[in-house]
A = this chain, B = another copy of it.
Amino acid sequence: MSKPSLPQGTRDFDAATVRKRNYIFNTIKEVFELYGFQPLETPAMENLETLMGKYGEEGDKLIFKILNNGLDNQAKADKIKAGFEKVMTGRSSKDITERALRYDLTIPFARYVAMNYNQLTLPFKRYQLQPVWRADRPQKGRYREFYQCDADVVGSRSLVNELELASIYATVFQKLGLPVEIRINNRKILSALAAECGGAEKMTDIAIAIDKLDKIGIEKVNQELAERGLSQEQIQLIQQFLEISGSNEEKLARLKTIFAGNSTAQEGIGELEYIIEKFQISNSESQRSIDVTLARGLNYYTGTIFEVKALGVQIGSIGGGGRYDDLTGLFGVPNVPGVGISFGVDRIYDVLTELNLFPADVYSGTRLLFFNLGVAEAAKAFELMQELRAGGIACELFHETLKFDKQFKYAEKKGIPYVAILGSQELEAEIIVIKNLQSGVQEQVTFTGLRNYNFDGRERA
């Protein structure tokens, strides 16, 4: 028998990890709800045709496809074989696979909106927190199964949505105790830049190149732009643009000057100004800043774009999003504008761990272990436990009548803070000895008094 193992790039989450992850998930969900967003869940599997062609050529290759069942039916063999040739030459075949695992939450959301468009109340505000799967090469911090966490509003062009989403970022990271920089830009400005550089078709080239500015530096960006066919003059204009600096107000002023007379740019600058002016971060060490170099690689963004960086740690963005014009057009329902943000929950987990920001009570499991000191004693313990549990105290009875030290060791290993000792003498005297394992303090409590004993914080309902 071979030793069991996990598929590459996947993880088991033990209790402590689940609790810390849920702390992040619940904080985000709570804020989404405070802002009127409602939950949605879609299945892990989508039809292959729903996903294929939506993530570019590279993305398509990283989609996990599910083998059709019933391939052991001999009658189907020839048909399947023909289909398989297609798979091998890079096409897919319905005879082999017609389903795949969700690659992100955006396309399933677009599919959902398109399928249910006539029943939805617009603007439709949903959040979604589910795992996705990608056949990426696993490496540190990159997994084949990981959670995404998105909030989107569709059916509204109002900038109120951008303001609300920016506030959600600020509120979530404030609740998590993590100071961040919320970077904001507008694709219309980049689009205008592209137009000034020889045409809208240069937009994607420019966006992809300057998105790498942080990682590869201005020289390499210029080189990449040259490779993508831009002239030296155009590259200089872009460089001038990328060098815009100062306060948010100074950046806005400079942008207005550079793009004087370009109506698309002015529209974008106006939106940026509105958001910066209305979106104030209070009670928080977080910052908000215009970042003209922020491009975000995804093609479908058309207006405001966001990115969130944690302050004080070296790690990539822990959130991002933006406005798009026509996501559901892919599924036959055109002209549905929307805007959304997402949280990089795995990275947020890493940052909170590095900065030691998880609250102490996040680990809380069982509060009290009853020692098992005999049949009659255990029976009484069982009865008392039912009362405590009804009052919200998580407790356990050790499963066997073993020596004290074995039972102590179990409590210690599991991090249970209190033990209850109920032997034959205690049973007769109708008392119980409660010991706090951390302080070593021991107290006698009556059976009836037990329910009011303070075990340092009740389990949350």
Contact = CB atoms under 8 A, between A and B. Distances in A.
Interface of A: 1-7, 10-15, 18-19, 22, 30, 33-36, 38-47, 49-50, 61-62, 64-67, 69-72, 74, 76-77, 80-81, 84, 87-90, 96-99, 101, 111-112, 114-116, 121, 123, 125-126, 131, 133, 135, 144-145, 153, 156, 158, 160-161, 163-164, 167, 171, 278, 282, 330-332, 365-366, 372, 378-379, 382, 386, 389, 392-397, 399-400, 410, 413-414, 459, 461
20 contacts: A2-B49, A3-B331, A6-B43, A10-B45, A12-B112, A18-B39, A34-B392, A36-B395, A61-B69, A62-B69, A65-B67, A65-B69, A80-B88, A81-B88, A84-B84, A121-B413, A123-B399, A160-B400, A163-B382, A278-B379
A392 B31 CA distance: 9
Contacts of A76: 88
Contacts of A3: 115, 331-332
Given A35-B394, A156-B400, 11 more contacts: A4-B331, A7-B45, A10-B43, A11-B43, A13-B40, A14-B40, A43-B145, A66-B66, A80-B88, A121-B414, A160-B397
A72 B97 CA distance: 14
A7 B48 CA distance: 9
Nearest to A41: B13
Contacts of A70: 61
How many identical subunits does the complex contain? 2
Given A112-B12, A158-B399, A389-B171, A72 B89 contact: yes
Nearest to A119: B14
A161 B382 CA distance: 11
A353 to B, nearest CB: 17
Given A167-B386, A171-B389, A64 B69 contact: yes
Query: What are the 10 tightest A-B residue pairs by CB atom distance, in nearest-first order?
Result: A36-B396, A10-B43, A15-B38, A72-B90, A158-B399, A69-B135, A121-B413, A18-B39, A13-B41, A36-B366
The CB with the most chain B CB atoms within 10 A, among A49, A66, A98, A395, is that of: A66
Nearest to A5: B47
B30 A12 contact: no
A191 to B, nearest CB: 24
A274 to B, nearest CB: 10
Nearest to A107: B4
Contacts of A18: 39-41
A278 B382 contact: yes
Nearest to A18: B39
A70 B87 CA distance: 10
Contact of A88 (B5, B71, B123): B71
A40 B40 CA distance: 23
Given A7-B47, A47-B7, A40 B12 contact: yes
A402 to B, nearest CB: 10
A66 B69 contact: no
A101 B10 CA distance: 12
A203 to B, nearest CB: 25
A358 to B, nearest CB: 16
A77 B85 CA distance: 9
Contacts of A49: 2
Contacts of A396: 35-36, 125
A199 to B, nearest CB: 28
A4 B111 contact: yes
A46 B163 CA distance: 42
A46 to B, nearest CB: 7
Nearest to A396: B36
A422 to B, nearest CB: 14
A12 B42 contact: yes
